[in-house]
Structure 1
Amino acid sequence: MNTKRSTVIATICARGGSKGLPRKNVLQFGRKPLIAHTIAQALACPSIAEVYVSTDDEEIAEVAAHYGAQVPYRRPSELATDTASKIPAIEHLVRHLESYGRRIETVVDLQPTSPLRASWDISKAIDLAHDAALVVSVTEPSHSPYYTLVEQSMDGVLHLSKRAAFVRRQDAPQVWGLNGSIYVWRRDALAEAAKHGFWSVEARPYVMPRNRSVDIDTAEDFELAQWLYMKQQTQQAPI
């Protein structure tokens, strides 16, 4: 394991189990395994010193190492269940690195199922983190909670998820959806979130377009992402 001091590292959490799309992290996407795209994007980001993968799976570990990531250990089983939160897994990895004397100030967590981001998306999100405990990537949702998202009450009647008295749509506040692609954590904020939950720290947005915000969870998502990826390649989009 590299012993140089690092201030900015990237983490990629990839479990072996997946119910929606089995073995999705190592499925061929384009000409390489899905997780390899995220590794390449992180390695292409100048401000990231090292890229680490946290996994419980031998095949994922081998693929990640082949494409340039460091895999310091196999993730403990209790942090790799279907119900386990990702934040404790990130914190576990960071503490492991710190136990070797590593100095870590910023943790850039990248979702391996978001292959359509660009390396400069990561760089821009990191730039925003100078004044934020946490920067999260977001995208414009297809529906606004002020006008079209509804919930069903106990009596079966629908009502708006977020009530407001705006006459025009343009008067409603801008809303975004978390796309899961990029999380830039200040080290102390990550520790706080590991203890008290994601929303215990202040977060600021990095806005991404929908065509780079697909999160692959199902076979349909995979097909859509493949189509968008091929379109990006035709247009010679950056890594």
Structure 2
Amino acid sequence: MLIILCMFLTYFVANFSHASNKLFDSGCNSSLREIRSVLYNGSYGCSHFDTSKEPHFASLILARGGSKGIPLKNLAKVNGTTLLKRSLNTIHEFGRFSSVWVSTDSADIAKEASTAGAQVHWRSPESATDSAPSIVGVQEFCSFHPEVDIVALIQCTSPFLKTSFLAEAYRNMQTGRFDSVFSVTQQYKLRWKRLPDGGIEPLNFNPKRRPRRQDWDGELVENGMFYFATKNLINYGLLQGGSKSCIRFEASVATECSEAPSGNQPCGNAG
């Protein structure tokens, strides 16, 4: 009976995950992720992949051409090198991925990706819209590449990616202990939220006992530089779930080039 129930849950979630991606912008994001995570844990736990063989790690950059903030922002240059090539150079320097991919709907981006030594996955119009979440693009990629066990989704608009960051995340996933590993920075910010009546209230501290930096551990905040996840987790519509770990580094290297700059530099004064 238990086996039949697990088979049903696996079938249900596989179909539910695909259909529910369309609801991500409806305000139900958190609830959907919680449901998917619970069902994933019940079906897979930490049985990520066949540990008797070397897992296939695919690095993947999603680089659509239709960004509204900065058109073709992935081809913006920092010190004479495009953001896309900059990230691919770091990926190749790391050298441990089984395959290196760029998923795009742009001929210009595809040309730059090929020149920089990456394979190109042509992204469907449905997965390249302004409203499509990243998980849709990653799921689409996985559906065409059954050989992949683990995807390292890397954001090329984070220009300070380092091989040491990738190496630490890779090692964590390679152990088979984790379903997902992602990048964070540690912040010591005292945060407030706006109330419906126009007032504000503290979110993470008591004003009567304002903590000094040395008095608390701060908070871990996603910086979006990369997300490693098993294909099983991705099929459930998640980039973070199951057994999780994070790679922490300083906020000074977590700069993201996602908005139009005020000056002539495409991403500010990046080194």
Q: Please, what TM-score do these two structures have when normalized by structure 1?
A: 0.80
Q: For residue 227 of structure 1, what is the aligned residue in structure 2?
A: 269
Name the % identity: 23
Deviations 1:139-171 (A, max 9, x none): 123x52xxx211111111110123558663444
Amino acid at match of 1:188: N
Deviation of 1:173 after TM superposition, in Å, equals: 4.2
Structure-1 separation of matches of 2:153 and 2:210: 40
**1:42 pairs with 2:86:** no
Q: For residue 157 of structure 2, what is the aligned residue in structure 1?
A: 113
Contact persistence 2:153–2:226 (CA under 8 A): yes
Deviations 1:186-226 (A, max 9, x none): 2222222x1xx455544321002122211111233994955
Deviation of 1:31 after TM superposition, in Å, equals: 2.2
Deviations 1:10-68 (A, max 9, x none): 00001111222222111222222210111111112232121011111111111111110
Instruction: Summarize the alignment of residues 1-239 of structure 1 with structure 2, pairs less than 5 Å apart.
Output: 7-72=56-121, 74-98=122-146, 102=147, 104-129=148-173, 130=175, 131-141=177-187, 144=189, 148-164=190-206, 168-169=211-212, 170-192=214-236, 194=237, 197-198=238-239, 200-220=241-261, 223=265, 225=267, 227-229=269-271
Q: Secondary structure at 2:159's aligned position in 1?
A: coil
Structure-1 separation of matches of 2:85 and 2:66: 18
Deviations 1:91-132 (A, max 9, x none): 11022011xxx2x22211100101211122111111122321
Q: Please, what TM-score do these two structures have when normalized by structure 2?
A: 0.71
Q: For residue 233 of structure 1, what is the aligned residue in structure 2?
A: none
Q: For residue 234 of structure 1, what is the aligned residue in structure 2?
A: none
Structure-1 separation of matches of 2:266 and 2:203: 28
Amino acid at match of 1:94: C
Alignment RMSD (CA, Å): 2.3
Contact persistence 2:105–2:124 (CA under 8 A): yes
Contact persistence 1:116–1:225 (CA under 8 A): no
Deviation of 1:180 after TM superposition, in Å, equals: 0.6
Q: For residue 235 of structure 1, what is the aligned residue in structure 2?
A: none
Q: Secondary structure at 2:119's aligned position in 1?
A: coil
Larger radius of gyration: 2
Contact persistence 1:10–1:51 (CA under 8 A): yes
Q: Secondary structure at 1:114's aligned position in 2?
A: coil
Aligned length: 213
Structure-2 separation of matches of 1:44 and 1:6: 20
Amino acid at match of 1:56: D
User: What stretches of structure 1 of length at least 5 have no aligned partner?
Assistant: 230-239
Contact persistence 2:56–2:149 (CA under 8 A): yes
